[in-house]
Chain A
Amino acid sequence: MDVVLAVKKYVSKMIADSGTGMRVLMMDKETTGIVSMVYTRSEILQKEVYLFENIGNEHGEVMKHLNAIVFVRPTKENVQLLCKELKNPRYGKYYLYFSHALSKSDVKVLAESDEHECVSDINEYFADFYPVDIHHFTLNITNCARHFIWSQNHLTRTCHGLTSVFLALKKCPMIRYQANSEMCHQLADSVKLLISREASLFDFRRSDSTPMLLILDRRFDPVTPLLNQWTYQAMTHELLGIKNGRVDLSQRPGVKKDLHEVVLSPLHDQFYRENLYKNFGEIGSSIKELMDDFQAKTRSQQKVESIDDMKAFVENYPQFKKMSGTVAKHVTVVGELSKIVGANNLLEISECEQDIACQSDHSSAIQKVRALLRQPSTSSVDALRLVALYSLRYDSHSNNATTSLTDQLASRDSRRIISGLLKYASIGGRLSQAAEIPGISMTRKFFKGLKGVENVYTQHVPKIKDTIEELLKGRLRESDYPYAGSSIMSERPSDVIVFIVGGTTYEEVACVDSINSSNSGVRIILGGTTIHNGLSFIDEFMTATAS
């Protein structure tokens, strides 16, 4: 149940199976992203793969002394491009790998184009998703819904992505979905259909417990993506944006040129892996430690007095170099984060956000929001989010002041956005609210009140936590989350894949991670069509509600 390892194994097998000698790796846009999530360029270079090429982006040079590994998605375009390539092959041998099922007709078309007999192998390797962390994957589909309906190609892509996760992990799941979302229903049905169609692929030995696929709709929790985050990963995504494990700093003033794009990957960066889910305060001290450690090393490196010292220095040098790279990277990122936090007055804003989301004091909330809206340091996006949160929370309140607050916003679009959000959240999105309010959450709130708030910036707990915990206890209501198909699982699930149509957030990832580590024997993987921060979420629901 490790999605990163699954993809990694596929890629290394591809490379290992294509023999030795110089090789070129040909990929399409998506597979390039997928491979780059698990392997760094230099790691692949070490395996004698020296060139990387985008399919269809030909250079025309014939290099028969190279073999080509082709890893692409099985789309019509890709097949056509490959046919063209095979008719006039530029490389010696071709090893073809497709990331999902290839139709018979496509196989035939390819075979007929291969007049030079240069294809040595043709395979399906089901790495059709972006593994972000061992328990988190995404499909990088933004704006999957238009008017709350799947566009057909997005549905197919999502279905392929989900099934490939199961094939890569060798699991055949039971499927449950959120009842009040038509999109979830549709996806569940098409996944089910695909599984039954490719029954031969899904025929595993069922030794351990059956895994569970739970399909949710982003609309069930529109609050989480609107909040400012304080854990390292989530915060970086919120303020700087992480794309395929890379952060683009080129727009930030004063950042050195070689740090314009930094890689933040929990797989290759130990410091990042250890501090992924820590909050900003802890990161500060971690970075301090890292620096001290580094300085101590520097100092010991400085004392190069004898030949022995020199030798020791040379031996440690590559590691030292690596460490200095890590230090520079994280210091820059954290520095940028703290700049933004300071400039935008995020501490105060976040406190207010959390209060709106978790407390129920309407009058103080509205006062705080008004005060913050007046402050010049509050950016327009933050202001918009504050109003959005307020309108979500106190939508049904008698003294609702959404309209007057919206009028206070500078941006012209704001009214449209707020109404869009309310529409997004309202259409059956808030699931069985009646059951939620008097139930467990009330008592928890009560206990919380007794304990006092530990940290005002991290009061909010994403709703997915409750849902998963209910599911693990076997208490998730079948009327709200019905099974796709007739069979019903009696025992409690231990392997769960939660898929959120409309995108995940890093806060939810951190939450899943904590569930995983606190319950032994339970393995939860979170996936979504994309990974949201505030801005991308606004974009998402605006597209979804657009007429």
Chain B
Amino acid sequence: MDEDIREGFLCPICVKDLGSFHKLQHHFESAHTAEDKAVFDQVKGLFTKAKGKILGRNEIAQIPDESYTTSSHQEQTIWEPQEIGITKSHFDTYKKVRDSRIDRFVIESNKVLIRLDKLMGHSKLTGKQNSKEFEQTLVPWVRDGDVPFCPTCGDRFYVTRRRHHCRLCGSIMCTKCSLFVPYDFADELVETLRESTSSMPRQRSRSLLVLPQSSSDNDMTVRCCHDCYRILRKRKDKIEQKYNQPLLVAFYEKLQTAKTTAEKLAPKYKEMATSLNQGEETFELGKANDLRLKLMKLYEVIDVVSKKIAAMDTENEENPPPGICLQLQSSIRRASHMYLQENMLTLQSLPSLPKLELLQKERRKEQERRVRRQREEAERERAEAKRLQELEKIKQERELAERDKMETSSFKRHQRQVSDISLNGIVLREGWTADNGIEKDVLQNHQHKNDEPDPLMEQIQHVQKMLHQAANAGQAEAVKTLTLNLEELKTEYKKQQSIKAFGGGVSNRGKTHSPNLGHSIQVNKNPFLDKKLPVRKSTPRPTSVKVAKSPNPFLEDEDSSSNPFLEDDDDSLNPFLSSPVQDAETNPFLTSNNYSPVSENETHQDPVFHQICYISKCLDNAVKSGKQDEAAILRQNLQELQSLYNKSR
């Protein structure tokens, strides 16, 4: 029968005890992944739920956060998910039309470029600029007689306004309308033509070849018409676009790479940090710290580069950048700034090493405590059942004895029997604390003995030890938190002891554990909250809700509506702009001071009331702990105060 019931962190599939939740999860993930996923999810869900409960995590604190984020997608929950509407692409027809046009253009420009190339080659070889015969072999010149007017400006040709031919297409124009392609420009175009036509990657050796020549042939040009010049110009633009990227682009690429790397790392870090902050042992603190450092560095890169981008060319006074560029730069900076605000500032912090140890120990304790509690509950139930059985037996025996008595009327024997049984019963009643099979099993796993001192006591000792260490190491912050912790634990321990002493009794013990634990953790986290809470609750406030008939609560207290919050709404004046970390540390006090007047007024308004609250709380405590004399004094005190308060009102 005992073999049927086993407890602890058992794997639901191979029934192996694994000691801790974490190990179990790990074991399950590694060993049973092939198995039914549903089972796994169920188990996991169960554990996370249990985890949440045990750790007493403040669920209330989480809920508003969630609502804050999810509610922005409210529209999706009201009506069914919706796919993107109809779209229609015209690109195919567009491309067809464009291609037919572009083809013509491409042929044209290639022709021109090839001619230019040949012209250049010729003049380089011969050193002569104008060789009419050669030029005419490239492109047939239009006959002079065919063109009586300049096609560009419309003026009639005569003796002084002579006809000129475009060397690239052979058309005619006047001097005024002629354009000249300079040698360098032409050479550059031709070079790139070669580069693009020959698939071989050629060195751009132009500068070596051309420079000595260009000094002598500086004035060398090719006459051409407007149309051909435009074709050449277009070509040139394309080349420039290819080779000359502004500095901004380089910076921007740097920025983006940093951003993408950071985005890859951030989720991993987040996982690590949450896990560590919960005291889990999946990740190492060192690694998480490394990752954090890496992330911070990336964010710093983003910050620095975006600042550089924003400041680019702003000091260039001779040639100030056009407004649109500045706008672009500042937009980039703004976007990066927002990105940092969203990601860097919200980066979860990691626990320090001693704190982590503490967390982990606490966590382990929690788990053990939980296991023990469960076990105790089960034990108690079993003991109860056994006792019931025994009682049943006794009853039966008694009946039997009655009958015996009736039959034999040997009173003595019966009495002895009864006492035997009751003795037996007592032994059994105590038996639940003693070992039995399962007990041993579990105990071995947890290296704990059942008769160990109270876990809280142990915790206290532990914290004391740590406090000592911290003090030795001179870590002031740690010492502070630890002392606080210690005090909490002590009060907790005392409370528990008193409960135990006050007939909460052995049987209640299991139950009293859980709320207390939850409480103690909460208190650890936020020791100030508890004290202030009653004040805030009880601060009298003018009731503002009015009947619908006069829906205007703001008429009277106009002051409160034109209030201090108005002052700081400018996002650009953000403290994080210049140097995020430092500023952020100094700033909180500043801004919070801005907000203070209202709240301070309220709290300082009635110290009497505050006092009353405090005393009534003390009174409660005193009554609870049964200190009659103290309670009496307090009550008197309270009455006095109340009358005082009423008078002052």
Contacts and interface: CB of A to CB of B under 8 A. Distances in A.
A277 to B, nearest CB: 14
Contacts of B75: 2, 4-5, 134, 267
Interface in A386-426: none
Contacts of A304: 588-589, 592
A104 B93 contact: yes
Interface stretch (A112-120, A466-474, A478-486, A503-511): A112-120
A201 B551 CA distance: 50
A50 B570 CA distance: 21
Interface in B463-517: 477, 480
A64 B588 contact: no
Central interface residue in A259, A335, A457, by most chain B CB within 10 Å: A335
Contacts of A48: 335
Contact of B85 (A21, A61, A110, A167): A167
Contacts, number: 260
Given A46-B339, A51-B324, A115 B105 contact: yes
Interface residues of A, number: 105
B254 to A, nearest CB: 13
Interface string B582-623: 001100110110011011000000000000000000000000
B551 A281 contact: yes
Given A122-B90, A123-B90, A338 B554 contact: yes
Contacts of B96: 111
B5 to A, nearest CB: 44
A301 interface: yes
A321 B95 CA distance: 50
Contacts of A307: 477
Interface in A83-107: 92, 101-102, 104, 107
Contacts of B334: 42, 45
Given A107-B93, A168-B86, A284 B595 contact: no
A36 interface: no
A334 interface: yes
A50 to B, nearest CB: 4
B88 to A, nearest CB: 4
A127 B84 CA distance: 11
B551 A314 contact: no
A259 B569 contact: yes
Contacts of B322: 59, 61
B546 A281 contact: yes
B566 A328 contact: yes
Given A280-B551, A302-B596, A347-B550, A168 B85 contact: yes
A89 B599 CA distance: 59
A323 B84 CA distance: 32
Interface stretch (B48-56, B169-177, B240-248): B240-248
Interface in B315-354: 322-325, 327-328, 331-332, 334-335, 338-339, 341-342, 345-346, 348-349
B307 to A, nearest CB: 16
Interface in A156-171: 167-170
Interface string B292-330: 000000000000000000000000000000111101100
Contacts of A536: none
A291 B348 CA distance: 28
A354 interface: no
Contact of B79 (A2, A59, A287, A303): A2
Contacts of A446: none
B232 to A, nearest CB: 14
A509 to B, nearest CB: 15
A463 B546 CA distance: 30
A125 B212 CA distance: 58
A22 interface: yes
A285 interface: yes
Interface stretch (B362-370, B557-565, B639-647): B557-565
Nearest to A339: B558
Contact of B327 (A46, A51, A284, A331): A51
Interface string A299-343: 101111011001101110111010011011001101100100110
Interface in B368-409: none
Contacts of A21: 252, 256
A291 B562 CA distance: 12
Contacts of B248: 65
Contacts of A13: 84, 87
B536 A324 contact: no
B345 A270 contact: no
B595 A117 contact: no
B131 interface: no
B569 A328 contact: yes
B440 interface: no
B34 interface: no
A123 B89 contact: yes
B553 A10 contact: no
Nearest to B576: A317
Nearest to B80: A1
A441 interface: no
B546 A284 contact: yes
A65 B246 CA distance: 8
Contacts of A282: 551
Contact of A301 (B346, B592, B598): B592
A361 interface: no
A46 B562 CA distance: 33
A301 B325 contact: no
Contacts of B85: 6, 9-10, 125-127, 167-170
A111 B98 contact: yes
Given A45-B338, A338-B552, A294 B565 contact: yes
Interface residues of B, number: 91
A115 B101 contact: yes
Contacts of A116: 234
A365 interface: no
A124 interface: yes
Given A59-B324, A285-B544, A335 B554 contact: yes
A2 B82 contact: yes
A111 B97 contact: yes
A114 B95 CA distance: 10
A230 interface: yes
A183 B30 CA distance: 71
B227 to A, nearest CB: 13
A266 to B, nearest CB: 9
Nearest to A22: B252
A306 B477 CA distance: 8
Contacts of A101: 88
Given A126-B86, A280-B551, A335-B558, A296 B536 contact: yes
A50 B335 contact: yes
Interface in B8-40: none
A436 to B, nearest CB: 29
Contact of A121 (B89, B551, B568): B89
15 contacts: A5-B76, A9-B82, A10-B87, A42-B335, A45-B331, A63-B324, A126-B85, A126-B86, A288-B553, A301-B595, A304-B592, A315-B345, A324-B568, A455-B549, A457-B551
Interface of B: 68, 71-72, 74-76, 78-79, 82-91, 93-98, 101-102, 105, 234, 241, 245-246, 248-249, 252, 256, 322-325, 327-328, 331-332, 334-335, 338-339, 341-342, 345-346, 348-349, 477, 480, 528, 536, 544-555, 558, 560-563, 565-566, 568-571, 574, 584-585, 588-589, 591-592, 595-596, 598-599
Q: Top 7 A-B pairs ranked by shortest CB distance?
A: A281-B551, A168-B85, A111-B97, A284-B553, A50-B331, A335-B561, A298-B595
Interface of A: 1-2, 4-6, 9-10, 13, 20-22, 42, 45-46, 48, 50-51, 59, 61, 63-66, 92, 101-102, 104, 107-108, 110-112, 114-117, 119, 121-127, 134, 167-170, 201, 230, 254, 256, 258-259, 267-268, 270, 273, 279-282, 284-285, 287-288, 291, 294-296, 298-299, 301-304, 306-307, 310-311, 313-315, 317-319, 321, 324-325, 327-328, 331-332, 334-335, 338, 341-342, 347, 454-457, 523
